[in-house]
Amino acid sequence: MENNDSTVKTDFIREIIREDINSGRFSSGIMTRFPPEPNGYLHIGHAKSICLNFGIAAEFGGKCNLRFDDTNPTKEEQEYVDSIKEDVRWLGFDWEEREYYASDYFDQLYQYARKLIDKGKAFVCDLTADQIRDFRGTLTQPGKGSPYRNRSVDENLALFERMRQGEYPDGFRTLRAKIDMASPNLNLRDPVMYRILHASHHRTGEKWCIYPMYDWAHGQSDSIEGITHSICTLEFEDHRPLYDWFITELGIHHPRQIEFARLALTYTVMSKRKLLELVKRKIVSGWDDPRMPTISGLRRRGFTPESIRLFAERIGVAKRDSMVEISVLEDCIRELLNKQAPRVMAVLRPLKVVLVNYPDEKTEEFETDNNPEDLSMGKRLVPFSKLLYIEREDFSENPPKGYFRLTPTNEVRLKHAYFIRLKEVVRDGSGEIVELHCTYDPDTHGGEAKDGRKVKGTIHWVSAAHSVDAEVRLYDHLFSKEDPEDDSDGRDFFGSVNPDSMITLKECKLEKSMGQAAKGSRFQFLRHGYFLVDPVDSKPERPVFDRIVSLKDAWKKK
Which active-site residues does the annotation give?
37, 262, 272
Beta carbons of 532 and 374 less than 8 angstroms apart: no
Host H or E run for residue 175: strand 174-177
The dihedrals phi and psi of 271, each to the nearest 5 degrees, come to: -75, 125
Angle between helices 326-340 and 305-315 (to 10 degrees): 130
Residues 6+ apart with CB under 8 A from 529: 547, 548, 549, 550, 551
Residues 6+ apart with CB under 8 A from 259: 231, 232, 233, 234, 236, 237, 240, 319
The β-bridge partners of 66 are 34, 99
DSSP 165: T
DSSP for 262-302 reads PPEETT----HHHHHHHHHTTSSSSTT-TTS-BHHHHHHHT
User: What distances in angstroms separate CA 256 from CA 102, 232, 413, one per listed residue?
Assistant: 19, 10, 64
C-alpha R_g of the chain: 31
Angle between helices 78-90 and 44-59 (to 10 degrees): 60
DSSP 395: B
**How far apart, in whole angstroms, are the C-alpha atoms of residue 185 and residue 353?**
73
Of 99, 109, 92, 112, the residue nearest 35 (C-alpha): 99
Query: Residue 181: helix, strand or coil by DSSP?
Result: coil
Of 203, 108, 194, the residue nearest 156 (C-alpha): 194
Beta carbons of 174 and 195 less than 8 angstroms apart: yes
Strands annotated E in 102-169:
122-125
Query: Residue 338: helix, strand or coil by DSSP?
Result: helix
For the chain, the maximum distance between any two Cα atoms, rounded to a whole number of angstroms, is 103
